[in-house]
Chain A
Amino acid sequence: MNNNTQKQSPVIRLDWIKERNPKLTIISILLLCIFLYIADNRFDAYQVRVLNLCAIYTVLGLSMNLINGFTGLFSLGHAGFMAIGAYTCALFTMPVTVKDQNFFLEPINEVLRTIVLPYPIALLVGGIFAALMAFLIGAPVLRLKGDYLGIATLGFAEIIRIVITNLQTITNGALGLKSIPAKTNLWWSFGIAAFTTAFLVWLINSSYGRAFKAIREDEIAAEAMGINLFKHKVLSFVIGAFFAGVGGGLLGNLLGAINPLLFRFTLTFNILLIIVLGGMGSITGTIISAFIVTIGQEALRFLDQPFSLGFIQVPGISGLRMVVFSALLMLVVLFFRKGLMGTNEFSWDSFIGFFKNIGKRPGKPLSKGGTES
């Protein structure tokens, strides 16, 4: 009798898990929605803005992780793609009067002046423009490998920025754009972050995702297995750039003002930092670290103001925050070489297993373990 139940239990448990996991996913999505609803109504403007930034950096981190972490292409062109997305989205959402106020040095291009699109379509167009640019850049650049690819993409991102600076009638040049309609709210940013996550999870687990990972693991073997290296590298690059453009659009309409200096290469490194911290090749890791880095940068802001350590008064040193942050990062890189998650992903089974293991620390008699499940 006892034997019989033991034999059956694994099967029953599997069925139960199969039903449990989707339910848990739905419950957590609902909880997130409730949280967003509360945050939207109760949180102050600053907190909402930080949350928005968290979601936007999730989108940006994920898009970069697809290129760098999953396909193994060392690309540093993200700021350029974001700039294209941000400018496109901002220009297409600004009403005509605001455009006229912005372009006081030289009038705006007449065609561009009249086009005003709804926010979601503007975001989409921003993403598509960024993807188009990635396609054009990809053709020459993706023939390079390793560091050379990094340098070339970095160069192209700077070229994009310089071009934007000089297209006075289209981008308003170095003056940048101001009074961009604040269309980005929690629902948009978290909605798009959720969509990006789902899209990338599905992509990574599909046959195309496997091909990307094969290229990361061994290009020569991947090619010998019939994978068209160039086509798949371009695919990954273009998809990454699309989401970077969408993320840039979200960012521009959140900040309300953008100028070419915002999209310097330091922005790319901020995102690179997120994916290295989270783990190259881990979607879960990127999401976690996007939140940690964004909130961390805000939480450490007190370091820039004068503060007291009890025995010593520290005068306000602007930039101290970044010093401390860099030191923290160095610790992470030294002691967690593969980032927080490595290439692992979140799953309900391992999540629950983790808590079960805490409860099952040694000391409990083994015989009880059998009756628990």
Chain B
Amino acid sequence: MIHLKIDSISMQFGGLTAVKDFSLELRKGEIIALIGPNGAGKTTAFNMITGVYAPTSGKIYFKDKEITGLRPDQITKLGIARTFQNIRLFKELNALDNVLIANHLHLKSNLLEAVFNLPRYRQENAEMVDKSLHLLEKLGLVEHRNDKSSSLPYGKQRRLEIARALATNPEILLLDEPAAGMNPKETEDLTEFIGQLRHDFDLSIFLIEHHMDVVMEISERIYVLDYGITIAQGSPYEIQNNQRVIEAYLGVNGNA
């Protein structure tokens, strides 16, 4: 079953074409990766999928429903959650609040029920807190629940961002450079952790990553962007041996 289908989307900023004719299919339960040199348009592609930008042309489907041009909150509500390249936690709030906020989109109680703590809200809130604590526990953050999120160590902030994304009950998780700024040990843990996530939360995962060891180990298929153009796609093995990918990353040797 195809979860996410992207049909040749393009994004133009004035005269600059950031992404051109990008197409992709993500099947249920798959982990796929998007790689490419800096400025290749990877995050732009992410931003189009999550509704931050409306693509200049092309269409995006989530489970056969067109989601092109929807607002980010609508897309998240449908079941696509994301993390950010530069961590965007709610800095002044504690870890538990950060995760609780991501539950808000499923809240059925209205404002007055919430303010006056009426039975329906009381029950929903209790479930919310329960679920959030459970998530924090699963991601090894439960002892930090009352700590200000900006005070957590870097690796844990990344985890908290993932916890927050999971709290929206997604079916697809988009990870924008989850291993950025991590040391080899942390990267290794993360690789294992992402595989675990897919299993535990029944997710399809689409990630952008620079660490090739992460990408090659966990992704089933890889797409390569360079200057906004998809230059290759295929299994990790195929990508590793693709001449154009090697050129894009390492440059072309003029004498060769």
Instruction: List residues of A whose CB falls within 8 A of some B CB.
Output: 199, 202-203, 206-208, 210-211, 213-214, 217-218, 220-229, 235, 343
Contacts and interface: CB of A to CB of B under 8 A. Distances in A.
Q: What size tier do the contact residues of chain B reach?
A: 35 or more
A227 B104 contact: yes
Interface string B91-109: 1110001001111110101
A224 B50 contact: yes
B82 A224 contact: yes
Given A224-B76, A226-B77, A211 B115 contact: no
Interface in B98-143: 100-105, 107, 109, 111, 114-117, 121, 124-125, 128
**A interface majority secondary structure:** helix
Interface in B62-92: 71-73, 76-77, 81-82, 84, 88-92
Interface in B195-227: none
Nearest to B84: A221
B256 to A, nearest CB: 44
A223 B50 CA distance: 10
A202 B115 contact: yes
A207 B76 CA distance: 18
A228 B117 CA distance: 22
Contacts of A206: 114-115, 117, 121, 125
Contact of B93 (A199, A207, A213): A213
Contacts of A214: 90, 93, 101, 104
Contact of A207 (B81, B84, B90, B104): B104
B92 A225 contact: no
Of the listed residues A206, A223, A224, the one surrounded by the most CB atoms of chain B closer than 10 A to its CB is: A224
B164 interface: yes
Nearest to A343: B92
Nearest to A218: B88
A220 to B, nearest CB: 6
Interface of B: 50, 52, 71-73, 76-77, 81-82, 84, 88-93, 97, 100-105, 107, 109, 111, 114-117, 121, 124-125, 128, 164-165, 168
Contacts of B97: 210, 213
Contacts, number: 100
B115 A207 contact: no
Contact of B102 (A213, A225, A229): A225
Contacts of B81: 224-225
A227 B101 CA distance: 8
A223 B116 contact: no
Given A213-B90, A214-B90, A343-B92, A225 B115 contact: no
Contacts of A210: 93, 97, 100-101, 104
A226 B90 contact: no
A217 to B, nearest CB: 4
Contacts of A203: 111, 114-115
Nearest to B168: A226
Contact of A217 (B84, B90, B100): B90
Given A208-B111, A225-B165, 16 more contacts: A202-B114, A203-B111, A206-B115, A210-B93, A210-B101, A211-B101, A213-B93, A217-B91, A217-B92, A217-B93, A218-B89, A221-B88, A224-B73, A225-B101, A225-B102, A225-B168
A356 to B, nearest CB: 21
Nearest to A221: B88
Given A207-B107, A226-B76, A221 B90 contact: yes
A282 to B, nearest CB: 12
Nearest to B77: A226
B102 to A, nearest CB: 5
18 contacts: A202-B117, A207-B128, A208-B104, A210-B97, A213-B92, A217-B91, A217-B93, A220-B84, A221-B84, A222-B101, A223-B71, A224-B50, A224-B72, A225-B73, A226-B102, A226-B105, A227-B104, A343-B92
